[in-house]
Amino acid sequence: MSELGIEGVVQLCRKALQLTPVSFREELQDAVVSSSFPELKEVLLEISNRAESSRKLRSLVSEIADLSLDINGDENVDVAFGRILSLARQMLGTDAAFIMELDEPSGSASIILSSGIWTTELQEVEPHEKGFFFEIYQVAAPLQVANYLRDDGFEHDPVLDTAIKREGIRSLLGIPVEAESGFQVLFVADRHERIYHTGDIYILEQLAVQVLAVGVRGEESNRHHKEVNSLKTVAEECRVELANSAKALETIETVISMVSDLLTESRVAAFLAEHMGVQIHISSLEDLMLDSVGGWLPVDGYAPIESYVRRTSSPGRGESLSLGEREVYVSPVIRGGKPWGVVVADLIMPSPETRIIDLVARALSIKDVIGLEADSQRVVESSNLFFSLVSSGRTQLTARQQGLLTEAEIVEDGLNRLLLFSGDEAGLRLIAQRCSEVSKGKLLIGVSTDQVGVLGEASILVSFFETFSKLVDLRRLKVHGYLSDKFTGFRRAAEVYRSCIQFLDDIASLGLSSETGWYTDAALPQSVRLLARMTNAQRKALVDESIGNLLRYDRENSKELVPTMQALFSHHFSASTVAEELDVHVNTVRNRMKRIDEILGEGWNEGVRLLDVQLALAALRIESGMPTVFNDVTWTGNQ
């Protein structure tokens, strides 16, 4: 080292980075290091090799970029795929490359294109729900198998195995591509055992992006084969949409801020129209009627909009309506629990801008519920995210929305619970305020005019529930609260939300409430909840056909057979216990039981007839408003 000196070593390192490996080896032959410091020589050669690999990788990425620019919408999809496969073989030095299409609904897969002189046999294979291809589809990430035939971790498909053996494949590398119509997988294969390194996987990923781009254009081409030139326009619109995602987010945040600051609807509409490039109108139903007389709205345009808004109870749930030759997107604004107005935009679905319109309508509705709170903007943001999650289960999250989930410690694979309130509007307004105060940003709160929802990590929500239930008297507020069971991630959020709504709708239909106003799924038997799905006429018919004769007997003879029967069901037909409750002699109870048997006839206490009688008694107690115990919860009618 003393002969070279520090400067000499530095110079050699620089040359190792700059020269090709062959040139650098020649340089080392004349250097003292080749004989005096063999370990240093090995290190320098490794530096030279890695530098060359880096240069090659940059060159390959540049080639892929050139390919992306070169392939256009006018080129046949198969030709474009063929060029990608040829480039994959050339770049990775593999024996073959091919693209497989996976059809999830039918559970089948087939190779749609291949490159390689020995892939004819494999191209005819169509595996079903098994094998290497579906393994990649299920993990949805780069998957490498050094020796597919010897790996017992995969569920093998015999047909595929036979083809692979016949072709002599020993190494496979695949990348999944999620296309609009399903999944595709880009593969490379070799006849020798090979370990694909990080650089190989990176190159294949970049090529997979090109497969996706070509596939999207191909799908559009199939739908519009007579207008091939429109493919380029569609692709360009997609790229512009992605490029403007940040701008769209800024628009949403600005609108939410404007609504929170209680700026006029006309200023909000003007801002949206300027940034979205379409006509936007925010009007109350009264103003909308005036606009249909000499205004922007056609004369016959008011009726369909007014009809849609009045039959829609959810704010921000828009729909596309045809007004003669004009098509508009209409999203309802609900205030005070009643339809207030609409946000109308000249948009044709499907359009990404419709989501912004729905968010604006929801924000304009929420403003009326939450009042002038200091953190109203956060409530609006939280509500928009909450209703997006419970309506679809998953959603494209902005950075701000992801931040709200992080603050609330809600993760996609974590255990969560959902709390939903419904009832009196004034009570819900207080519930929304208290939720915001108690949660301190650790929960996701959704507020609308007819419900308040709280989504959170299971343990955090239970802790919140225990504290909140001590602070708020739901019965006094005329509000019901339903706490869901635990569920995992976002995928089931929509399903759980619907079950919460169904439960609250059921008790509202029956006119029931409990002592606390808090409920879980186990609070009411499913058999009783069936009564909620029946009309009043159907419930009365059930009572009349099952125990109508008993009711008439009691009424005509001033007897108490029906109360006795209700007590018998409550106490497992124990005559002594019923006698004590009704304050009569036990023989009186036994005589009444005989009379019940005579009136209802043989077999009333068996099979389906017994179920009819039980449901009829439950319906009778609910209708009369008498306290009734179901699953250890005491219910009373509030009708």
DSSP 3-state assignment of 634? strand
Are 513 and 533 in the same domain? no
Closest by CA to 256, choosing from 345, 354, 384, is 384
- Contact present, 488 and 418 (Cβ < 8 Å): no
Query: What confidence category does residue 350 fall into, taking pLDDT thresholds of 50, 70 and 90?
Result: low
Residue at a domain's end among 501, 523, 545:
523
Are 366 and 406 in the same domain? no
Classify residue 19: in a domain, yes or no.
yes
Interatomic CA distance for residues 316 and 333, integer angstroms: 7
> What are φ and ψ of residue 515, in 5° steps?
-65, -30
Are 402 and 519 in the same domain? yes
Interatomic CA distance for residues 186 and 98, integer angstroms: 6
DSSP for 48-76 reads HHHHHHHHHHHHHHHHHHHHHHH--TTS-
The residues that bridge with 323 in the sheet, in sequence order, are 326
Mean pLDDT of 167-174: 76
- Contact present, 393 and 494 (Cβ < 8 Å): yes
Residue at a domain's end among 370, 403, 421:
370
Are 121 and 60 in the same domain? no
CATH code of the domain in which 478 resides: 3.30.70
Are 385 and 455 in the same domain? yes
Please write the tens of the pLDDT for every residue from 257-305. 555 444 456 667 777 777 677 777 887 777 777 666 556 777 777 788 8
Classify residue 236: in a domain, yes or no.
no
- Contact present, 196 and 171 (Cβ < 8 Å): yes
Are 211 and 97 in the same domain? yes
pLDDT recorded at residue 67? 59
- Judged against a pLDDT cut of 60, whether residue 231 lies above it is answered with no
The residues that bridge with 96 in the sheet, in sequence order, are 189
Classify residue 71: in a domain, yes or no.
no
The residues that bridge with 452 in the sheet, in sequence order, are 421, 447
Interatomic CA distance for residues 170 and 191, integer angstroms: 5
CATH code of the domain in which 179 resides: 3.30.450.40
Please write the tens of the pLDDT for every residue from 234-249. 545 645 554 555 455 5
Please write the tens of the pLDDT for every residue from 574-627. 888 888 888 888 888 888 888 888 888 887 877 778 888 878 877 777 777 666
Are 117 and 201 in the same domain? yes
- Judged against a pLDDT cut of 60, whether residue 148 lies above it is answered with no
Which region among 66-75, 375-384, 407-416 has the lowest average model confidence (pLDDT)?
66-75
Are 301 and 402 in the same domain? no
Are 406 and 475 in the same domain? yes
DSSP 3-state assignment of 604? coil
Residue at a domain's end among 491, 523, 555:
523
Classify residue 228: in a domain, yes or no.
no
DSSP tag of 128: B
Are 381 and 500 in the same domain? yes
Classify residue 233: in a domain, yes or no.
no
Instruction: Give the total number of structural domains in the chain.
Output: 5
Classify residue 386: in a domain, yes or no.
yes
Range 114-120, long-range pairs (CB < 8 A, 24+ positions): 114/85, 115/82, 115/85, 115/86, 115/88, 115/89, 116/89, 116/189, 118/167, 118/168, 118/191, 119/167, 119/189
Residue 310 domain boundaries? 244-370
Interatomic CA distance for residues 547 and 559, integer angstroms: 14
Are 494 and 573 in the same domain? no
Are 324 and 249 in the same domain? yes
